[in-house]
Structure 1
Amino acid sequence: MDSLVLLSLLAGVLSWCFVSGIGKGRGLRAIAWSSLFPLSSSPTLTQTYPAFTFSHFVTPFLRRIRSWAYLLNGQKIIQEGYNKSKDEPYEVLAPDSRFVFVSSPKHIKEIDSAPDTVLSLNAAAKHMLQPVYTMNGFNWFDKRGVEGVGFVRTLRTLLTNNIPNLLPELRVLSRSRFSQLHAEFSEKHGPDHSPIYPMIMKITVLLNAASLFGTELARDDAFLKDAFGYVEETLLNAEVVKLMPSFLAPIVGGLLSSGLSSHKSFFAKLLPMAEDRLKDRELKARGHDVPNHADCVQWIMETAPRANPWSAERIIYELMAIWFGSVHILSTTIVYVIHDLCLHPEYVQPIREELETYYHEFETTGKGLPLLDSFIKESARLTPVEFMSTRRRALKPFDLSDGTNLAVGDWACTPSGAIMRDERHYPRATEFNGFRFVDPELLSRIGRQSSFPTPQPKPSKLTDIDNTFPMWGTGRMSCPGRFYASAFMKVIIGNIIMDYDCKLVEPDAPRWMTWRSAMIPREKTMVTFTPRDRSKMKDGKSAL
């Protein structure tokens, strides 16, 4: 990921040297200055161009400098804005966007209730990922639902209902792959030493491929390598393109996309599967017997608009978008949970006891394991993958009730990381309390209440949607795949807890870097995984 920073900063230097847009002011002077230093109005002020003064030169220059500072200090800037805002909207500038952050329930509801034709999640995702340059030429619509929203039913209903069928296989795959990687990394880095981020990424890619595409592709090592590379290439290339001046973006994006080997191979290997499924659908309609499939390829095809059925290519484009989001978020969240298990080992034993007793029930239903659930949620609260949530990009001008204006292209969003560290929502907010969200009665029953504080006024689950825990977004567009994500993470983390004792090699060393609003794990962070003696487990056995 260090290459992401270097190349993106290089892109920044280039875009600083070239014109980034004109026509925002009146007259030649305004055009020149607005091109070199695009102004973004403060949330409640109308932008004007007064007579030239010294401040007229300095102010846009400083604002431009501050927008570039966002790249490396985005989380700090968002947090500082939140601390000063007193729940009022505030703006943060980036080189390519103006963000308006809202945190009050009233303003969050206004954003969530705005029509998709005005504030669009699709348009925000399109800007983030630059799919025309990073997803094999796919350029989705800015407006949600133009081609159907079958992916929502696929993730929220079909995939969620299939979780109990997936979990036994995911458990087996997780254990075998972890054991394999543990041996490989131990040989390379020293006894029991593993770079945690690359390790978890590879395990996530394997298990996610089995869930979304089926076991046949998941057994293809070349496909898994391309699936892994696709995520890395998307992150890197999208960042470079976003930092280019608008007139250079198509040129640079085209050059970059021509070299995306993983994207091309990933697409090429998925395409025959989608074509075969479409043929099977035609055969089934004629009365022939065809194989039954329970994976996202099948579900995306079945939930696509019937009036205008999707081609095999269009099905794969949808899967590529789902794949990127799931692999990136899942792997990063799991890495931070492992970090916290190393830093807070007092939680390991009660979670192990829960796994020994209740894992089979979890695997049967896809629900449960409240101690592990709470630990993951607390880890995600204090080390969120993203400091920003509820993203919407303005397709039309939009005004909040207090008069704050979003121009076309501006973003509305919530400062999720700051909200989740607010003492008003989380007593002792900066302290790690792994069982913060557990029902105190449960801790009392297992004799753990005196050992672990539960400062929250009421228990909650990782998958709960709430304005004070916006990890999954908020309102009507909250993440439809969160139930799958929760179960997926519990399988991998549960296996590690049951099979290994883990310890950070350098617990005081930096474990992540920040880029924009994201926290990206450092690839060189090492964890020792010492195999446990399973014969000493409770009753000498475990459901895992």
Structure 2
Amino acid sequence: MAEILYLPWLSYAMEQPAQPQSLFLVFYILLLGSMLWAIRKPKRIRAWAYLFNGPSIVHCEYQKSRGQPFEIYAPDVRMVFVSSREHIKELDNAPDAVLSLNGAAKHMLQPVYTMNGFNWFDRRGVEGVGFVRTLRTLLTNNIPQLLPDLGVLTRTCWAELLSKQETIDGTTLAPVYPMMMNLVVLLNGRSLFGEELIKSESFTASALGYVEETLLNAEIVKLFPKPFAPFVGGLLGYFLNSHKTFFESLIPMTEQRVKERDDRNLGRTAPERADCIQWIMETAPKQNPWSAERVIYELMAIWFGSVHILTTTIVYVIHDLCLHPEYIEPLRYELDTSYQEFERTGQGLPLLDSFIKESARLTPVESMSVRRCALQPFSLSDGTKVGVGEWACAPSGAINTSAEYYHSPEEFSGFRFVDPTILSRAQGASVPAARQSKSSRLTDVEHSFLVWGTGRMACPGRYYASAFMKLVIA
């Protein structure tokens, strides 16, 4: 996460109204002062360099490490990177009370200041992880029911967004990222919240703002000394308050669902629902049912995790389609012959699946994965130590371009993961020189492709994310 520059923050600040603009300039000056104070020590100089050039630093250290653990300092945390199968498995096997995914997420997102004041990650350990079953089982099982409606929404919304763009000499000039962000917000809103809320422009605006402001707020708060965090986070949360609007927009519908749940428990008739609000309520603790507010906090966490990564990954795929137009004909042929089956089952489209995976391999949203925050001192089998509050993680971006795992690793080969027998039947496609010896799917979790994490903590929503991306790109 700490891989963005200061200049985009300043640019963002200048687009805000006068009062928030002044606030951001104050923060900007304070951060520069913090940098000047911190760089008196060589180790701190390297830590601040990570903020500006994190992916390259990780890749360089990975190359030098030869499979052994290595450390990198960011301005806010020391990180121990591991890349061997054995060490990654050690991270996965460590008890949650020792190495915590939630602890790393809490540090990354600063939920006290970005999730309407609720420390979601602390409460999850106490109240269970019903959201995992919501995403892994209930949402996944309902993908075939969601796809037809999402397909109609995609075509309608994309045509509307294009119609608003400037056209010069018959060519439409389309800013892909903001358009795709709007589209993903609309479609994800339909999947998670149903049809009613997405009709409200104020809701969709706050849902979009919540994602963007969470990233910005959390990055700024993390870079200040801990004693300043409540002051800085509080001010940012006051002026950048889409999270409050988003929360309040969800209250009426969620309170209605709570009432329907109580009616069912009393034997009364209540409507049947099929969306994430309902599924979270069904998987919440039975002995102490969650309130409407508690359900909303869970939704806010799921919402953030789904919108940002989906949008960015799809945009990179669109860029790669433009850079490699030779793939368009075989992909369109696959869609012409197989899309209806995909929409009916949520499965299939192996050529498009491979193209998305190859794009994500070479342009991952983040350069690290398998993040764990040490809640207790932890040692790897080789003696490498991770102190309390420090991170253990894997250099997924560097692994993605390692010759140890990929033939011609720097080359874009859109069909490298497809079974050759499938390619031989695909119109306009040929078996590429740069391909894997074993075919695989986008949703597969493996040591050489850590986009989804690993082991028992692998992303439970990856099947939905895969189907979602295929639908939009198709």
User: Among residues 222, 238, 242, which one is paired with 1:242 in the alignment?
Assistant: 222
- The CA deviation at 1:4 is 2.8
Any runs of at least 4 consecutive aligned residues in structure 1 with deviations exceeding 6 A, and if so which?
none
Separation of aligned partners in 1, 2:440 and 2:430:
20
- The CA deviation at 1:190 is 8.4
User: Among residues 138, 145, 159, which one is paired with 2:125 in the alignment?
Assistant: 145
- The question of 1:385 aligning with 2:390 is answered no
- The question of 1:204 aligning with 2:184 is answered yes
Aligned-partner SS, 2:451? helix
More helix by share: 2
- Map 1:272-287; keep pairs closer than 5 Å: 272-287=252-267
Distance 1:441 1:238, change over 3 A: same
| 1:13 partner amino acid | L
8 A contact 2:420–2:431 mirrored in 1 = no
Structure 1 residues without counterparts, runs of 5 or longer: 19-35, 38-59, 495-544
- After superposition, the CA RMSD in angstroms is 1.8
8 A contact 1:121–1:144 mirrored in 2 = no
| 2:56 partner amino acid | K
- The CA deviation at 1:14 is 4.0
User: Corresponding residue for 1:433?
Assistant: 413
Separation of aligned partners in 1, 2:123 and 2:350:
38
User: Corresponding residue for 1:186?
Assistant: 166
- The CA deviation at 1:451 is 6.1
- The CA deviation at 1:446 is 2.7
8 A contact 2:362–2:400 mirrored in 1 = yes
Aligned-partner SS, 1:63? helix
Separation of aligned partners in 1, 2:282 and 2:401:
42
User: Among residues 31, 35, 40, which one is paired with 1:12 in the alignment?
Assistant: 31
Could you tell me the TM-score, scaled by structure 2's length?
A: 0.93
User: Corresponding residue for 2:94?
Assistant: 114
| 1:306 partner amino acid | K
User: Corresponding residue for 1:3?
Assistant: 8
- The CA deviation at 1:453 is 3.4
Separation of aligned partners in 1, 2:429 and 2:305:
37
8 A contact 1:437–1:454 mirrored in 2 = no
User: Among residues 128, 136, 139, which one is paired with 1:159 in the alignment?
Assistant: 139
Distance 1:255 1:449, change over 3 A: closer
- The question of 1:172 aligning with 2:191 is answered no
For residues 245-276 of structure 1, the C-alpha deviation after alignment (integer angstroms, 9 at most, x for no partner) is 11111111111111233111110011111111
Separation of aligned partners in 2, 1:70 and 1:308:
44
User: Corresponding residue for 1:320?
Assistant: 300
8 A contact 1:154–1:296 mirrored in 2 = yes
| 1:476 partner amino acid | R
Distance 1:165 1:143, change over 3 A: same
For residues 116-175 of structure 1, the C-alpha deviation after alignment (integer angstroms, 9 at most, x for no partner) is 000000010000000100110011344853211000000000000000000000000001
- Map 1:297-446; keep pairs closer than 5 Å: 297-446=277-426
Separation of aligned partners in 1, 2:93 and 2:416:
31
Distance 1:95 1:189, change over 3 A: farther
Could you tell me the TM-score, scaled by structure 1's length?
A: 0.81
Separation of aligned partners in 1, 2:29 and 2:48:
12
- The question of 1:227 aligning with 2:219 is answered no
Distance 1:190 1:442, change over 3 A: closer
Distance 1:104 1:485, change over 3 A: same
Aligned-partner SS, 2:227? coil
| 1:121 partner amino acid | L
User: Corresponding residue for 1:134?
Assistant: 114
For residues 1-48 of structure 1, the C-alpha deviation after alignment (integer angstroms, 9 at most, x for no partner) is 953366686453243467xxxxxxxxxxxxxxxxx67xxxxxxxxxxx
- Map 1:412-491; keep pairs closer than 5 Å: 412-446=392-426, 448=428, 450=430, 452-453=432-433, 455-491=435-471
Q: Percent identical across equivalent pairs?
A: 62
Aligned-partner SS, 1:70? helix
Greater shift, 162-171 or 132-141, is seen at 132-141
Aligned-partner SS, 1:82? helix
Separation of aligned partners in 1, 2:169 and 2:242:
27
User: Corresponding residue for 1:125?
Assistant: 105
| 2:410 partner amino acid | T
Aligned-partner SS, 1:306? coil
8 A contact 2:98–2:377 mirrored in 1 = yes
Separation of aligned partners in 2, 1:399 and 1:212:
40
Number of residue pairs aligned between Structure 1 and Structure 2: 455
Distance 1:337 1:10, change over 3 A: farther
8 A contact 2:415–2:435 mirrored in 1 = no
Aligned-partner SS, 1:464? coil
Aligned-partner SS, 1:412? strand
Aligned-partner SS, 2:63? helix
